[in-house]
Structure 1
């Protein structure tokens, strides 16, 4: 077997041997906040009809009883429970964007495995940190030179999340450096054909492509590798069909190990206030800033037009036409709909704004239609890849006055982080209506002490209604 040292082997050794003491306290704290945030958005989605359909479909495939679906309590095997819970996390569009969308897969997987195996909170936190870090480092290896969706139509989050989740799972399964490396190669072979078109159209399958399937595929990869069911050791870079040859024009695998152990993805996490695609957040913050300064919610007719300029792929993702918004997912990916909703409410986009019972009413409202029609979304080649979530927003008033703002970091991103109080407020607002105030507070307190929790199944006990 070829055991020549490579950056991927070095990353695998780091992931297998990392201890809680190796992780800076600020990163451990941010990991706990990510768990709390993820639980809030998962709980809020638990009653969605899409999850009911998914559970019915999964029951035809699996009758195990290893781990529970959050809130509802149905039992499935670990990978299926992880798949359902990760689907729920992704459904709201409120889960964080750490390492693109890694925690949507990593945390549900870790909780499902942890319930079945009695994992300690400290071990879960290390596994979550590992998964986020690994997913981000694969991103940095190739994202800047990735092929277009025409040449390689596989959605980026599916690849990153499968890879990251496989490391989370291997860590929880106790893999050594060799087993971690084998897991990575198996995972590269199990990345789903998550077509970009299904993401861009806001299809019902999108939450599965971002969260659910990568969670179960990553877990499967780790279990396969643990039983000696391995893949080609050069599945990443082989000129004869290695994954990177399909995904990118060029790449730099040194990014796997650059500043490893001193630079952490969770030192500056990426969290969401708006229940919508991440590419919409800076624009929404900009529109709210300008509208609060220049018009009132009772005089929106003062707005002549709103011009939004985004990173080209961002404009493609959320800049679709005003027509044809028939599903919640489609609304969450349509900036015109989102801006009109934000202007009418005067605040952040909530899950209610894109509820499928609300959409027809809003689209039938002449004022709402007028607001949507005033919004233009353009591609701006001057917004670089490094600033791809920023937005240049102009509001032109009826008297011709133009007000402009450039939002580099939406609230929750980059240097504009949410405080712990804001994270608590977001979590409580999502979880308390479902769990009740007392249970939601018990869960929040337990996550704050997650590092000392002997068995994470006690978290699931709080996350399943009696």
Structure 2
């Protein structure tokens, strides 16, 4: 009998416990650097990351077995609770990687789950890297099954579902199951269990609420729990993915492409097509930021601008351009990350990091009258060229009309960090240090980076903050 999709994924995972291609292993090191750096930066207690502080406080109060550390540095929690805390931190700043064309963020759910289980299970560095790579791969391929060519969008997003938290739960379960040493059958069961646990709605992107910032934490937590339950004997339906009442039908209806999940599995690694973010905002805002930075570099200032038109694909427009009142006056620094108009204003007036940085998206930035005034001048429209390019690349065109009556235009066909302009290894390292040194002294941040780079030769994974509670001031 032909294996089901869950069984095929389980066999793939079991066959790659410690053996992934060299390029994939190297990529996994980058994923860990990126997630850990993002999570460390998110420890700062401000309005943008308060949910992470709340989740950490709740998890610490509940206590339990001291199995794994958190990136807050001071305590050890049960593995699933540590995954919850670290996953919430990993996604809190919206600085996490993105797979195209599924448009989901695999590593923010998979890496925290894998880190927690690897520490609890005393796994080796190569085992951790393999689990991260395979977990991300499974997450990405589930996302690919949702991409509808006629819509040029994911069916998850068309239905208001957060693909990252739904697919990330299954990816986190697979990574956790690998590190627990589960059999093919048990990994398939873990997939079957996790498929009942993934959830997430994206309405918060449009109109507010802090719940989205815990989606990846919950996915990581649920993935660890699913694998743990499978190890203890709970079973899942073998047809959980493609069945009549399975994952694809329940979440996607008829807009599903199950063949994409296993097509060239193990030969073509989708994780290698997962791109890093240079800016800490919703990825749909990035090409507009690139355009604004380019025009700013040409000598155009915010004071010169009378009006601005940002052209993007129709699908992103709904996230970063609607409803307009919420986008020109975001209600918090976090919600500003999902605003095309505010991103343009920030790129014209702010700066730092790799061009736009965390301090540009704080609640305090919303009190800047110049930014709000410029954001109000920006109209977001659908652009047919961007429609054709989406979602295989995020593109945009920005037209600024200045007081002298001239119109200045800049178009990008693939945003910085995207498929045509990937971040270099040096960029990823620089991003990590920039993020980590917001809360760690430079020597400690450099030590964390070194230990992540050394994972291919590490016999036993320990907490990323093994030296103990870090300093809370910048150096």
TM over 0.5: yes
SS at match of 2:6: helix
| Cα shift at 1:381 | 5.3
| Cα shift at 1:458 | 5.2
1:332 maps to 337
> How do residues 332-371 of structure 1 correspond to structure 2 at under 5 angstroms?
332-346=337-351, 348-356=355-363, 358-362=364-368, 365=369, 367-371=370-374
Q: Which moved more, 1:315-324 or 1:440-449?
A: 315-324
SS at match of 1:213: helix
Q: Is the aligned partner of 1:119 residue 2:116?
A: no
Equivalent residue for 2:36, pick from 26, 36, 39: 39
1:120–1:453: 8 Å Cα contact kept in structure 2?
Answer: yes
SS at match of 1:88: helix
Q: Is the aligned partner of 1:285 residue 2:290?
A: yes
Equivalent residue for 1:12, pick from 2, 7, 10: 10
2:351–2:357: 8 Å Cα contact kept in structure 1?
Answer: no
Describe the shift of the 1:111–1:318 C-alpha distance in structure 2 as closer, same or farther (beyond 3 A): same
Equivalent residue for 1:104, pick from 102, 108, 120: 108
Bigger proportion of residues as helix: 1
2:69–2:463: 8 Å Cα contact kept in structure 1?
Answer: no
1:93 maps to 94
Q: Is the aligned partner of 1:189 residue 2:192?
A: no
Cα deviation per residue 1:8-63 (whole Å; 9 max; x = unaligned)?
32222011111544x32222111101111111111111132433222222345443
| Cα shift at 1:405 | 2.8
TM-score (norm 1): 0.91
SS at match of 1:232: coil
TM-score (norm 2): 0.89
SS at match of 1:174: coil
Aligned length: 452
**Deviating 4+ runs (over 6 angstroms):** none
Cα deviation per residue 1:296-347 (whole Å; 9 max; x = unaligned)?
xxx4222222211222221111114345523232111112122112211255
1:162–1:217: 8 Å Cα contact kept in structure 2?
Answer: yes
| Cα shift at 1:271 | 0.5
Gaps of 5+ in 2: none
Q: Is the aligned partner of 1:51 residue 2:49?
A: no
2:375 maps to 372
Equivalent residue for 1:25, pick from 5, 8, 22: 22
1:303–1:398: 8 Å Cα contact kept in structure 2?
Answer: yes
SS at match of 1:457: coil
Describe the shift of the 1:270–1:262 C-alpha distance in structure 2 as closer, same or farther (beyond 3 A): same
SS at match of 1:234: coil
CA distance in 1: counterparts of 2:139 and 2:190, whole angstroms: 14
SS at match of 2:219: helix
Describe the shift of the 1:45–1:148 C-alpha distance in structure 2 as closer, same or farther (beyond 3 A): closer
